[in-house]
Amino acid sequence: MARPLINAPKSVRRGEVFDIRILIAHPMESGQRRDDVGKPIPREIINRFVCTYGGEEVFRAEFFPAIAANPFLTFSVSAVESGVIVMTWTDDLGASQFESIEITVT
């Protein structure tokens, strides 16, 4: 999988709620389309996204083929302590993409 783009603040105040915006390049093949000779193209999508903060799960999503190509997602997190936010995308083939960001809570 391609390297994702993540947009999140580097440092936040304690208790502040901040948004994380993520984008990953992926065709999200829906399984509904057919190729030139009419053969169905098998489904191949990212079906799972998990975000943990300091080891605790804060947000999890199950994607279906109705999510557009190059899935983009915005969600929010409440700043508790400085730590690492780890995000994981998993696709139908079982491949995973990890990405982590450090967040400083002041």
- Which residue ranges make up the site for other proteins (CB under 8 A)? 17-18, 30, 32-36, 41, 53, 56-69, 71-78, 80
- Rounded CA separation 1/95 (Å): 8
How near is the Cβ of 30 to other proteins at its closest, in Å?
A: 6
Burial of 87 by CB count in 10 Å (0-12 exposed, 13-18 middle, 19+ buried)?
A: buried
Query: Shortest CA distance to 61 belongs to which of 71, 72, 47?
Result: 47
Nearer of residues 78 and 96 to other proteins, judged by Cβ: 78
Nearer of residues 72 and 98 to other proteins, judged by Cβ: 72
Residue 9 CB contacts under 8 Å (≥ 6 apart), including other chains: 18, 103
How near is the Cβ of 101 to other proteins at its closest, in Å?
A: 15
Nearer of residues 41 and 95 to other proteins, judged by Cβ: 41
How near is the Cβ of 35 to other proteins at its closest, in Å?
A: 6
- Cα angle 70, 82, 54 (rounded to 5 degrees) comes to 65
How near is the Cβ of 7 to other proteins at its closest, in Å?
A: 12
